[in-house]
Amino acid sequence: MNARIQATLWCDVRLQARNGFYYASAVMAVITIIVLRLLPVQDLSWLLPVMIVNNLIVNGFFFMSGLVLLEKAEGTIEAQIVTPLRGSEYLAAKVGTLALLSLVENLAIGVAVAGFAFRPDLLAAGIVLGTALYALAGFVVVARYDALNTFLLPAVGYMLLLGLPLLTWFGIGQGTFVETALLLHPLQPVLALLGAAVEPATPATIAYGLAAGATWVALFAWWAASSFHRFVVDKVNTADLQRQAVAPPRLRLDVNGPLVRRLGALRSLGPIDAHSIGRDAMLRWMIFIPFVMALAVRWVLPLLVDAAQGWLGIDLAAYYPPLMGYMVLLIVPYFWGAIIGFLLLDQRDEQTLTALQVTPLPLRGYLAYRLTVPALAATLTTLLVMPITGLFDLPWWGYPLLALSVAPMAPLAALALAALAQNKVQG
């Protein structure tokens, strides 16, 4: 290991620690262990590879993407170009730290769930190759974007494509042709190694997992290096892109305008927020996510519950209505709290809160507005979502009472997000 990679490794470790990546991994590990231990099934070894892949998606794909977005926001990734650090060394340091994090987390999950009834060498190989695969894929995707808002929605599509082999793990789409075709999928070698770690496997399966996994990692490493040169190096070296583009006009609070004088400054904040949400693709979609989830709760998840009876040998139908109803009542105010929380983070970055101090709007009025709007929006959305799910059988007056009872969680989530997160990536 040369001095450049070693120095970059320590920088990445500090960056990950400062932005709470290790805390997030620890929380995920604890939640995963608790969920698996609570399942009334004796042998959970068959489910361990799937849970590990789920963690690799976060630790590899999304953590890599978050690191790159943070460095783009701070301008440090462009600064790498004028240093002796090569693009391949930059990627190697990122992949190395994330692979070590995933290795520690998922080996702990494996021991907690399956004891020592697995092959640690094959499990470690699958974890390292899987983390490298997802981390490099994350860089390939995020290199094209400069903000979390524009990255998240396309990332979902890429993740669905990368996770296709997981369907056959649960008995969906099985068949000779499908299984043969999936041998060419990048995730299949990782699943083969993780499966071989918990269940007996032939030497050919292990050899396939190691060889094909290493090949796919090499291909994604080449792709990531090309993306680094194309979307980072070339972008900085292009003269046209070095010049700062003129920012588009924004809807701002005109303290001398007739709208403010007649209606008051408080009423002008609504159009400003609507404009901010309208120009942000992520926030626009977050408004509709509760309705999409309500449709899934009613029409899609019951099919998975029925299938789970065959996978786990337990009947989850009795637990489904109260559990999903509780989740719906939590998710709706949380999403509205997240929307307002992200707006607060944007306004903090743009110094909008400082500018408000010289407007006719007092800070206590601004705080009252920020607490009231998400609560009202959560109340209305909850009223619309509850009938869609088909889980609630209440008298007509029970629906508004229930919606009002969960509404205060929206402003609490907004304030918590704004207080605990320093930027949207942390949020």
Q: What are the C-alpha distances in Å from 276 to residues 231, 234, 323, 418?
A: 27, 31, 34, 16
Are 60 and 142 in contact by the 8 Å Cβ rule? The answer is: no
> Which residues have CB under 8 Å from 113's CB, separation 6+?
33, 36, 37, 44, 45, 48, 51
Residues in the chain: 427
Chain centroid to CA 427? 10
- The pair of three-digit structure tokens given for residue 219, joined into one six-digit string: 């291909």
Lowest mean pLDDT among 41-45, 165-169, 226-230, 369-373: 41-45
Is the model's pLDDT at 241 over the cut of 60?
no
Q: How confident is the model at residue 260 (pLDDT cuts 50, 70, 90)?
A: very low
- Residue 310, judged by CB atoms within 10 A of its CB (0-12, 13-18, 19+), counts as exposed
Q: What are the C-alpha distances in Å from 225 to residues 39, 164, 213, 221, 241?
A: 43, 25, 18, 6, 21
Quote the CA–CA distance of 421 and 427 in Å, as a whole number: 5
Cα 315-318-319 angle, rounded to 5 deg: 95
Quote the CA–CA distance of 5 and 118 in Å, as a whole number: 33
pLDDT digits (tens, 9 = 90+) for 103-128: 999 999 888 877 788 889 999 999 99
Best CA proximity match to 195, nearest among 166, 164, 217: 166
CB burial readout 357-386, b (16+ within 10 A) else e: eeeebeeeebeebbbebbbebbbebbeebb
pLDDT at 48: 85
Quote the CA–CA distance of 131 and 139 in Å, as a whole number: 12
Which of residues 153 and 353 earns the better pLDDT score? Answer: 153
**Residue 388, number of CB atoms within 10 A of its CB:** 17
Is the model's pLDDT at 263 over the cut of 80?
no
The stretch 166-170 carries a mean pLDDT of 79
- Using left for φ > 0, alpha for ψ between -120 and 50, and beta otherwise, residue 75 falls in left
Residue with tokens 């460095």: 71
pLDDT at 176: 81
Quote the CA–CA distance of 418 and 105 in Å, as a whole number: 28
pLDDT at 253: 44
Q: What are the C-alpha distances in Å from 360 to residues 44, 242, 255, 268, 350?
A: 61, 39, 7, 11, 19
- Using left for φ > 0, alpha for ψ between -120 and 50, and beta otherwise, residue 305 falls in alpha
DSSP letters along 291-332, please?
HHHHHHHHHTHHHHHHHHHHHHSS--TTTHHHHHHHHHHHHH
Are 51 and 36 in contact by the 8 Å Cβ rule? The answer is: yes
The stretch 203-213 carries a mean pLDDT of 95
- Its pTM stands at 0.73
> Which residues have CB under 8 Å from 220's CB, separation 6+?
132, 133, 136, 137, 140, 186
pLDDT digits (tens, 9 = 90+) for 127-149: 999 999 999 999 999 998 887 77
Quote the CA–CA distance of 109 and 87 in Å, as a whole number: 33
Q: What are the C-alpha distances in Å from 290 to residues 273, 285, 348?
A: 20, 10, 27
- The pair of three-digit structure tokens given for residue 55, joined into one six-digit string: 């963690």
**CA dihedral sign of residues 378, 379, 381, 386:** positive
